[in-house]
A and B are shown apart, each in its own frame.
Chain A
Amino acid sequence: MIALNVNGQDRSVDVPDDMPLLWVLRDVIGLTGTKFGCGIAQCGACTVQLDGQPVRSCVLPVASVGTRHVTTVEAIGATPSGKKVQQAWLDLEVIQCGYCQSGQIMSASALLERNPNPSDSDIDAAMSGNICRCGTYTRIRAAIKQAAKA
């Protein structure tokens, strides 16, 4: 059994050590807001936060999470920057198909948490690993800036 803290709740899951955290979240715990994209940490759709830091859950063995708190898109609205990001996303209608957006929101809120006023190049550095098939990049950038001002 592996002990996890997910969205503030202590959980105990009976899974192999090397199962990716994403599978545990989606298939074992049932939190399906986090998406499977590429499975090799190249698209960012599976981004969750560990103690506020964005990680790619598809390649993160669950045993390496340890005592760090996992936050998923289901609970990011409860954090100050997550709340602002989600509001800006709604205000600017960032989403098209939406598949990548939970990952985008997790990366964006982590960025604002550590850098309340990011420049364009800060946004590039933080968000380049999150790919959007619909090409909503310009709205994502605008929404991050709006959230920073909020």
Chain B
Amino acid sequence: MKRLGLIILAAVVVIAAAVAVFLFKPASLPDVSVAQAALPTGQALIDRGEYLARAADCVACHTTSGGKPYAGGLAFKLPFGTLYSPNITADKETGIGNWSDAEFVRALHQGIDDQGKNLYPAFPYAAYARMTTEDALAIKAYLFSLPPVRADAPGNELVFPFNQRYVMRFWNLLFVPSGPLQPDPQQTADWNRGAYLVEAMAHCGECHTPRNLFYALDSGKTFAGAELQGWKAYNISSDKRTGIGSWSDEQLTDYLSKGHAEGRGSPTGSMGEAVDYSLRHLTPEDIKSIVAYVRTVPPQVSSDQAIVEADPPTLKASTAYAPATDAAAQGGLGLKLFQGACASCHGWNGEGLQTPYAALRGSRTVNDPDGTNLIQVILKGAHMTTPTGAQTMPAFANAYSDVEIAALGNYVLAHFGGKQSAITPADVAKARTQ
């Protein structure tokens, strides 16, 4: 009996020691010399890095609104606390100016900083792990070619045990792939390029794929849509009804490269940023590859009710300048607000009066009975750089009350999406805090 106890004790000690080694063994550095030798030098390398940094959309998270590019400080509110993106300019004290090539590659591939400490996966290293070492080094060369910015990001505010960085080692073991994405020989070169851009660079799944219990991407529900920071990232799987399966190639291409697709509306919120900062800068060939790949992502039927009604009777009965006479006569707070604040740009027939970017017909945002993104865009407005200049929608958060914005939201969903909705002033109040 005594002996059995000793064996169990020994086993516990051995396991505890193994776990301790796993958690606290200093991280080793990868050998990047082969990749370094394969790269061009000088401006050619920086240009390649600039394109890739845009494809990976680094700037979206590493810049605050109105702040200097790549200087960090943007807050990420998560269920376990708030994280702030770090400064990734080449400033030696507050940025990554002292990082070696190997340390930078390790950060992108394994989520470990220059000191060997674990980073948090709000930084999408589980996606960047699929990036080639060459591409990672080109991005570093570009970042280091920019003027260093001195800026300390605020410290993270996480609750225990998530404030213990070594805990991430378990997460990494489970959820971080190792090595770059390998081409699928069964598929075309186009498709493989698209897969690389979507999975290793643009990290679309970080928003569009729901998360599991461990807050990692649920690989069984790729691109099924998710909600984060008060916005919905819609289903972009090939499902015809709830995904993008019924979009034409031209619509997908226009949406990604111009920020508007005929009959599909325009992206706002984080997707508007993704187009503005990243996707619109990609070559037509790369956009074509992304479309080819995204089309083949297996359909995921989501429970989301944002089903687009392409041509609701309310729109058919409207002209660009007025709703149907009987509808106008009914009045109502929502209609009055739309009339005064929205109609001069959006028009009443869904085609957009001022610009096609204001066309609402077919947009999921005006077809989602939850009104999630609709409330957000009314509160916060939208901004996008387009081939014909900047397109801007003002923010109405300070202009109208919760009651008014709820009424406006319900009116817009009924008129442009043919949807019965029940947005309440409390929903608007909650959205204001997100």
Contacts and interface: CB of A to CB of B under 8 A. Distances in A.
A35 interface: no
A59 B388 CA distance: 12
Contacts of A111: 321
Interface string A113-146: 0110001011011101101000000000000000
A51 to B, nearest CB: 12
A53 B329 CA distance: 24
A63 B336 contact: no
A12 interface: no
Given A61-B390, A63-B388, A53 B328 contact: no
Most B CB atoms within 10 A — which of A18, A60, A111, A125? A125
Interface in B386-405: 388-392, 394, 399
A17 B336 CA distance: 34
A42 interface: yes
Interface of B: 319-323, 325, 328-329, 336, 339-341, 343-345, 348, 353-355, 385, 388-392, 394, 399
Given A41-B344, A55-B353, A129-B340, A122 B389 contact: no
12 contacts: A17-B389, A40-B392, A40-B394, A41-B345, A42-B399, A53-B353, A56-B344, A59-B345, A59-B354, A61-B391, A63-B388, A131-B340
Contacts of B323: 125
A53 B321 CA distance: 10
A40 B393 CA distance: 8
A19 B345 CA distance: 18
A55 B399 CA distance: 22
Given A42-B394, A55-B354, A121-B329, A61 B389 contact: yes
A62 interface: yes
Contacts of A128: 336, 339-340, 343
A129 B354 contact: no
B394 A114 contact: no
Given A64-B355, A126-B321, A42 B389 contact: no
A53 B343 CA distance: 13
Contacts of A119: 325
A129 B389 contact: no
A114 to B, nearest CB: 7
Nearest to B381: A40
B388 A129 contact: no
Given A42-B394, A55-B353, A59-B354, 5 more contacts: A19-B389, A53-B320, A64-B355, A126-B322, A131-B340
Given A18-B389, A41-B354, A64-B355, A122 B328 contact: yes
A107 B178 CA distance: 62
Interface of A: 17-19, 40-42, 44, 47, 53-56, 59-64, 111, 114-115, 119, 121-122, 124-126, 128-129, 131
Nearest to B342: A129
A122 B322 contact: yes
A54 B328 contact: no
A49 B328 CA distance: 24
Contact of B392 (A53, A54, A59): A59
Given A41-B354, A54-B344, A63 B321 contact: no
Contacts of A63: 388-389
Contact of A129 (B343, B391, B394): B343
A18 B322 contact: no
Contacts of B344: 41, 44, 47, 54-56, 129
Nearest to B322: A125
Contacts of A53: 320, 353
A115 B329 CA distance: 17
Contacts of A55: 344, 353-354
Q: Which residue of B320, B322, B391 has the most chain A CB atoms within 10 A of its CB atom?
A: B322
Q: Give me the 5 closest cross-chain CB pairs, A-B, nearest first.
A: A61-B389, A18-B389, A129-B344, A64-B388, A128-B339
A115 B340 CA distance: 19
A125 B336 contact: no
Contacts of A60: 354-355
Contacts of A19: 389
Given A40-B394, A60-B354, A60-B355, A125 B388 contact: no
Nearest to B336: A128
From A60, A63, A114, A128, residue with most partner B Cβ within 10 Å: A128
B339 A125 contact: yes
A62 B388 CA distance: 8
Contact of B348 (A44, A115, A121, A125): A125
Task: Name the residue in B354, B392, B399 with the highest tally of chain A Cβ atoms < 10 Å from its Cβ.
Answer: B354
Nearest to B328: A121
A30 B389 CA distance: 22
A41 B352 CA distance: 14
Most buried by A among B320, B336, B348, B388: B388
Contacts of B389: 17-19, 61-64
Contacts of A64: 355, 388-389
